[in-house]
Structures are given as structure tokens and as C-alpha cells.
A and B are shown apart, each in its own frame.
Chain A
Amino acid sequence: MSQTTSGAPAPNYDDEIVKKFVVATVIWGVVAMTIGVILALQLTWWPANLGIPQLTFGRLRPVHTNGVIFAFTANFVFGGMYYSTQRLLKTRMYSDLMSNIHFWGWQGMLVSAVLTLLSGMTQTHEYAETIWPIDIAIAVFFLTFAANFALTVANRKVEHLYVALWFYISFLITIPVLHVFNNLAIPATLTRSYPIYAGMTDALVQWWYGHNAVGFLLTTPILGLMYYFLPKAAQRPVFSYRLSIVHFWALVFLYIWAGPHHLLYSALPDWAQTLGMIFSVMLIAPSWGGMLNGLLTLRGAWEKVRTDHVLKFMAVAVSFYGMSTFEGPMMSIRAVSALSHYTNWVVGHVHSGALGWVGMMGFGTLYWLVPRLWKRPLHSESLATAHFWMATIGVVLYTVAMWGGGLTEGLMWRAIDEAGQLQYPIFVDIVDQLQPFYVTRLIGGLVYVTGVLLMAYNFTRTILTPEPIDSSAYVPAK
């Protein structure tokens, strides 16, 4: 048993569960993002669906979105949480059995989701398309993890809960509440159900869920990982621990109110729309506080960013977090939303967050974990650097193309001629103008996914390399 820096013997952590989630993350990342590229191809050239119902846009799209959210992101979040939670609490996870039920149950749920969605079984709620039996499975396996986490916290060997754990706790409390209430439905058959909400109430609950899925699955747990892995990679404590505490409480308080900005200019009461807009704008403060805290943690360590691919990924991730969390509040303002809503600008915004923030943080975390978990150096630093540049170029191509496409179609939709008539009354004419943007997006996506494939190859070679004879002598670059 090795020693902690305080001299106490280090507990026997369960890293096998972390390895499983790391492998699952890479596999699902390749699948979900490749499907994204196929969808981008279909938007430029529709015959790419090959006339096969299972490959049509309407069925593949939810597989892509749910795959990125619940498969790629959730798996790397779970893996990072299992790794960091045990070390921050100085104790092994409470139950290995619960950890394994969580892992295998979650992967089984994901496979079921893919098969049912491809078969056309859907609840038609965005990011909540899966049918009711799968919804129950999501709740059961997520709560299994939450219970295991809570029991581990109760069993901890330290008094103070590091700020990353607070972000994890917000994720573990909020996601089940959002998921359960948004999916309340009366089953009619094994594959069909009727939601208990109707009309505007249904839309409001849906976007209360939808936006907070972004907030509490794609943001808070990853901020928790940032507060753990970024200082580790930079080898210096977070710039301001006190700011991180204020960041946490302000963020979780404000985020939960922001959902109605998805329903501007709808039948939702005006006061509720304004409330969503105001809270969205206020979100800039904690979001940028967190971004600055992350970037300033690198103060004095920028030289390392030049050479350390983990820090490269994380520095770009935090930068994209800052850009996305500025753009989002701006888009939630009524006047801006009038132009941006329903256009590809929204798609660009989502992907600057998903590819830039979530993806880059995920890759950085994986590159940090793999050499340490398998106790051997990364197969190729050059491939990791190539992946970094491909990811960066890919996300820039993607988002710039979608911003251009979104502005183009938004302006064309609202253009009025001298007689007061729509200047472009034929919708397909506007779609035709978007072709160059769609092709650029396809190229950006292809470049990004190629980088992910390089990472998968690099990790495979790393893992399959015979373990160093004296693995304890190997200390990976910090």
C-alpha cells in the first residue's frame, strides 16, 4: 500500500470500475460522434440515408444526441467521479457490487435505447425520447450510483468535502428529479405511453428538464472534474478556492430557472419568459467566474500548456466554456432569440458547448487517466497532439459554419421586400443557400471524429502494450 503525502497509507481504491467507464466512454464516443457525421452528410446529401428507415434522419438524430449525452458524456463523468471521489474522500467506493450494477445496467440501458430509437420507438421529447421502460432503467441505475456515492461520502475519512464533490452532488440530486418529473407518463403498452402533461405545461416541463440536462449533466459534474483534474494536471491548487464556492452556489441557484428561454414568443405567460431570460443573463456571472478560476489556475503554468496535451485540451475546454456561456445568455434575450431561434445558430451554440467544452474536457480527463490506470506511458504523444489540433480545428470549422448558416437563414426568413412581402417565400430556396455551410460543418465533424479515432487507436495501443516490468518505477508526466 502506497503512502499519501500526509504519511497515511492510501486506501485500496477501486480503479477497475474507472477502467470500465473509460473503455465505455471511448467506444460510445466513437459511435455517437460517427453517427453525428452521418447526419451531417444526410443534411448535405439526403440519399445518404440509403432509403433504410433505421438510417433516416428522424431516427438517427436522437441516437446521436442521446448517445453523446447519456453514453459519451455520462460515461466519462461517471469514470472521473469514481476516480476522484475515492481519492478526495480517502476511501474506497462503499459497494463494488453497486458500482458494477451501475456500470452494466447503464450500458444495457444504452444498448436498449439505441435499438428502440432506431426502431422508431420514441416519446418525441427532446433528449427524453426513450420509451418508458428505459426511462425507469435510467432512474434505477442512476440512483444506484447516487446511493453508492452517498454511502461513500458517509464513510469518508476526511471532514471537508472538496468543491468538486459539491458539483457532483448537485448532479446526483438534480438529474433524477428532472428525469423523473419530465418522464411522468401513463403506460399504454410496453412501448407506448401518454405523458401526464399537455400543451404548454408539457413544453414548460420539457424545457425545465432540457435546459437543466445541459446545466446539471453537461456542466456541473464536468466543472467538478475541472476542479479536480485541472489542478492535478497543472500541479498547482485552484486559483481561488473561495471563488469556487461562490461559483458553485450561484450557478446551481441560477441555472434551474433558465429553462423558459427555450419558449420565448410562445404561449408561455410573458412573466415566465422574462424570468427565464433574466436568469439566463445572470448566469454569465458564475459561469465566467468559474471559467476565470479555471484559466487563472494555469497562471504560472502556461509553459506546460505548450507541451502537456492534457492541459492543452483542458485550457481550450475552459475557453469554450467561457464562449458558450456568454453566447447562451445572449441568445436567450428576446431580440436576439427572434433572429437565432430555430436556425443553425442554435446548432452551432450547442456544439461549441458539446464539442468544445464537454468533448475537450472529456479527452483531457481520459488522457490523464489512461496512463495512470493502466500504469504505462501513453503509446504516442504525437498522436495525442495531432488529436488536439484536429479537435480544435474541427470544432472551429463546425461552429463558424453553423453561425454563418444560422445568421443567413435567420436573416432570409425575416427579409421583407418593398411591398411588405416575404423576400424569400419559398423555404427550400433558403435551405439551398445553406449548402456551403452544411458542407463546411461536415468537414469540421469529419476532422473532429478522425481525432477521436486517433485517440481510440492510441489508447488501444497503450492498453495492449505489455506492462512495464517495474510499473511502480513509471511515473507518468504530471
Chain B
Amino acid sequence: MTVLKEGAAMAQMGWLMGVMTVVFSATMAGWILWTWWPSHRAALEAASRMPFDEEE
């Protein structure tokens, strides 16, 4: 129970929740931006064809 109480206390630390939300949101936004960055388009389109580059 001590672990749960400590977890509850930490989760109720507003500043920590705020920082975590910003960090995770920024990471996700950055990741989406990287994925849709125009210079990555050709490489990712080529990657999408990998299942077809094999013997059959």
C-alpha cells in the first residue's frame, strides 16, 4: 500500500503532471513532424515497398 500511496501523492503533484504532459505532447508532435517532413517522403515511400522486394 505504501507504493500506491506514494504513487497517488506523486500523481497529485500538479507541476509534475503538467511537465509530463508537455514533454509527451511535444515528443509526439515532434515525431509526427519528423514523419511528415518533406525530405523524408521519398525514403519512407521506398520503405513502404519493402514487402515486394523479394523472391516469389
Contacts and interface: CB of A to CB of B under 8 A. Distances in A.
B39 interface: no
A200 interface: yes
A385 B3 CA distance: 54
A53 interface: no
Contacts of A275: 11
A471 interface: no
Contact of B55 (A4, A158, A478): A4
A10 interface: yes
Contact of A4 (B41, B43, B44, B53): B53
A241 B44 contact: yes
Given A200-B4, A271-B11, A6 B53 contact: yes
Contact of B35 (A201, A238, A246): A246
A87 B54 CA distance: 7
Contacts of B4: 200-201, 204, 269, 272
Given A200-B4, A271-B11, A275-B11, A88 B51 contact: yes
Interface in A147-199: 158, 160, 162-164, 199
A231 interface: yes
A266 to B, nearest CB: 12
Interface in B9-29: 11-12, 24, 28
A245 B35 contact: yes
Contacts of A478: 56
Contacts of A272: 4, 7-8, 11
- Most A CB contacts (10 A, CB to CB) among B41, B44, B49, B50 go to B50
Contacts of A4: 53-55
A201 B47 CA distance: 44
B48 A237 contact: yes
Nearest to A230: B51
A245 B11 CA distance: 30
B33 to A, nearest CB: 10
A228 interface: yes
A241 B7 contact: no
Nearest to B3: A201
Nearest to A88: B50
A160 B53 contact: no
A246 B31 contact: yes
B55 A162 contact: no
A476 B55 CA distance: 13
A124 interface: no
Given A162-B47, A237-B48, A5 B36 contact: no
Contacts of A2: 55-56
Contacts of B3: 201
Contacts of B11: 271-272, 275
A84 B51 CA distance: 8
Contacts of A204: 4
Contacts of A87: 51, 54
B50 A160 contact: yes
Given A160-B50, A201-B4, A242-B35, A10 B55 contact: yes
B48 A241 contact: yes
Contacts of B52: 5, 231-232, 237
A199 B2 CA distance: 13
Nearest to B24: A253
A238 B54 contact: no
B47 A241 contact: yes
A475 interface: yes
Contact of B28 (A164, A237, A249): A249
Interface string A229-255: 001100001100110011001100100
Interface string A358-395: 00000000000000100000000000000000000000
B36 A242 contact: yes
Given A163-B47, A237-B45, A246-B35, 20 more contacts: A5-B54, A87-B51, A88-B51, A158-B50, A160-B43, A160-B47, A160-B50, A162-B51, A201-B1, A237-B51, A237-B52, A238-B48, A241-B45, A241-B47, A242-B41, A246-B31, A249-B31, A269-B7, A272-B11, A275-B11
Interface of B: 1, 3-4, 7-8, 11-12, 24, 28, 31-32, 35-36, 41, 43-45, 47-56
Interface of A: 2-6, 10, 84, 87-88, 90, 158, 160, 162-164, 199-201, 204, 228, 231-232, 237-238, 241-242, 245-246, 249-250, 253, 269, 271-272, 275, 372, 475, 478
Closest 10 CB pairs of A and B: A10-B55, A241-B48, A2-B55, A237-B48, A162-B50, A242-B35, A87-B54, A269-B8, A160-B47, A241-B44
27 contacts: A4-B53, A4-B54, A4-B55, A10-B55, A87-B51, A88-B51, A201-B1, A201-B3, A228-B51, A231-B48, A231-B51, A232-B51, A237-B45, A237-B49, A237-B52, A241-B47, A242-B36, A242-B41, A245-B35, A245-B44, A246-B32, A253-B24, A269-B4, A269-B7, A272-B7, A275-B11, A372-B56
